[in-house]
Structure 1
């Protein structure tokens, strides 16, 4: 049976991170630790960030690997890291929600569209940042089908 794309183990609430690199490494490590990606995928996430920022606006960043990192993905999954105090992503951008993505094949496109729908609503962003349980975050993403 395939893994859940988002489970409680993939969510970290109330996290403090010093900088963008630490934030990306932390987000990627969740995917590694839970069996979604090979450890080398995290380096590809950092490489992607060098090419173009994964900051999406509205306090959200979506770190993910480069195109050539696909062979490092074992299962499609996402990690969600909440940083209530924010982490500096450069250019004056502060990130409070990090969503790490690992997509097997073309799965990342479906996952990205679901995330985009959830995060297009300002109230969802506030709800996610203020969440006190992993279940609250999972239920917000489950509302989108």
Structure 2
């Protein structure tokens, strides 16, 4: 199946001057697609799924549900300036996510290809920022805290 996807992608690559298959596959796991029908639309959906995952992660961080101990814990380790930067990143993710949805609905191969070309470059920048913030979220769990002090939870 991977060979079929790569072969079909190669045709589209020649037609639209798309990024290399390996680059997109490493970032968005497009080789896991199950068929080659509407390949560009399916790739956009894969890209959209990844964007949505990180947008939801950031959304939960910036607007923690009081029932989410993890988000309430993690947000306490970010300064206001970082929160503003994270919000700007969230807006970028939401903008490209909504754009990918529109393009998938329109089925315009030329516009879908342009999006993939432009977005791969942007994604690499977004990914660097995500690594910083997600790393800080991860590191927050190494800090000594108690529920009462940091979460305001008194059972």
TM-score range, shorter chain: under 0.3
Q: TM-score, normalised by structure 1?
A: 0.25
* TM-score (norm. length: structure 2): 0.24
Query: More helix per residue: 1 or 2?
Result: 2
Bigger CA radius of gyration: 2
The structure where strand makes up a greater share of residues is 1
